[in-house]
Amino acid sequence: MNVFRILGDLSHLLAMILLLGKIWRSKCCSGISGKSQILFALVFTTRYLDLFTNFISIYNTVMKVVFLLCAYVTVYMIYGKFQKTFDSENDTFRLEFLLVPVIGLSFLENYSFTPLEILWTFSIYLESVAILPQLFMISKTGEAETITTHYLFFLGLYRALYLANWIRRYQTENFYDQIAVVSGVVQTIFYCDFFYLYVTKVLKGKKLSLPMPI
């Protein structure tokens, strides 16, 4: 554990709380991609199966349980409690375009050909692209609510802090996880353009808007 890992976890948790708070307060989930939230729930489910087999620390266990609960509560709110406010017409990203290659890569590139290891690898690869339906939805509608942009910012910040965590671990422990690092770099790249828009628009009190696709 180091400060970058802790800050990354807190940033991740804050992102999820912001999203849940937004939905609960407004009683509305418009502008939020349910497909991205399904993918994130799948990420946590396949990654945290070791909850039943491997105890690392109280902190680790509590964070895993909290992330799982937040993910599934978010999915329930979108597809259950506030389903009538869900913008399904704009949440049209084809999930099979992500799931099929991720599943294939998980079987081809992993550290051990065992069920738990393949599922963990699947979760790492899937997390790197799980935000794409949300970014696609924003590009399709041309804008995003401020609270949604805050959610995306802290989600991207979490990945950037985890990159710093891996660098720190390599320096202090000579530890290097190629699958996690490469996937994390790919995920952070997806956020780069958004980070620029967030700093130049949202932090200046402007609404984030994008050119409408032709």
Alpha-carbon torsion angle 38, 1, 187, 83, nearest 10: 20
- 40 has a pLDDT exceeding 80: yes
* pLDDT recorded at residue 210: 56
Choice between 24 and 145, residue whose per-residue pLDDT is larger = 24
Band (214; pLDDT cuts 50, 70, 90): very low
Summarize pLDDT for 43-82 with one digit per residue, the tens: 999 999 988 888 889 999 999 999 999 999 999 999 999 9
* pLDDT recorded at residue 195: 73
Q: Average pLDDT in the 107-116 region?
A: 92
* pLDDT recorded at residue 203: 60
* pLDDT recorded at residue 174: 85
- 208 has a pLDDT exceeding 70: no
CA-nearest of 101, 117, 133 to 47 is 117
Looking up tokens 């339906």 gives 133
Q: Average pLDDT in the 164-187 region?
A: 87
Q: Average pLDDT in the 105-128 region?
A: 94
Residue 117's alpha-carbon distances to 51, 80, 177, in angstroms, are 14, 32, 13
> In which region does residue 185 sit, left (phi positive, over 0), alpha (psi from -120 to 50) or beta (all else)?
alpha
Q: Average pLDDT in the 170-194 region?
A: 84
Band (8; pLDDT cuts 50, 70, 90): very high
* pLDDT recorded at residue 213: 46
Looking up tokens 């690898």 gives 121
